């Protein structure tokens, strides 16, 4: 009989992506405890209907898309800011609007 002990802590690599998620080490794996509105194995999918808890891959909730990753949510929030700043109206005016010179705001349509 050969016994192996799992001495590796899978949580050391910080696999839970949300800063408020808690990692639980398991033999050869990890489990993330996600805050409200976050899900997915690594708590990296935003889902407004999620109550939080142990993350797992999800399918559509209430017929909607499964949610957004942190990166997608961040980009969506940046694009909302572009709308608030009126960046679309400022594009192509041959004036560099620094607050609109971002990827989300299409780099002020090369005015900068």
Report the pLDDT value the prediction gives residue 63, as an integer from 0 to 100: 34
Q: What predicted TM-score, i.e. pTM, was given to this entire model?
A: 0.49
Where do the domains of the chain lie? 10-66, 68-112
Strand runs (DSSP E) across 17-105, as ranges?
Answer: 22-26, 29-34, 38-39, 45-46, 53-54, 68-69
Distance CA 81, CA 11 (A): 35
Which single residue is written with the structure tokens 């949580």?
11
CATH architecture assignment, domain 10-66:
Ribbon (2.10)
Report the pLDDT value the prediction gives residue 2, as an integer from 0 to 100: 61
Q: What is the pLDDT along the chain (112 residues), one digit of tens a residue?
A: 666 666 789 999 999 999 999 998 888 889 899 999 998 999 998 888 888 888 764 443 333 345 556 677 778 778 888 888 999 999 999 999 999 999 889 999 999 9
């Amino acid at each position: 009989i050969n016994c192996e002990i799992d001495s590796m802590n899978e949580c050391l690599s910080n696999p839970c992506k949300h800063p408020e998620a808690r990692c639980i080490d398991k033999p050869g794996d990890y489990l993330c405890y996600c805050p409200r509105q976050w899900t997915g194995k690594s708590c990296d999918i935003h889902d407004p209907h999620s109550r939080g808890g142990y993350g797992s891959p999800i399918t559509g909730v209430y017929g909607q898309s499964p949610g957004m990753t942190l990166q997608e949510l961040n980009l969506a929030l940046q694009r909302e800011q572009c709308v608030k700043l009126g960046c679309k109206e400022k594009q192509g005016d041959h004036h560099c609007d620094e607050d609109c010179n971002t990827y989300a705001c299409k780099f002020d349509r090369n005015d900068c």
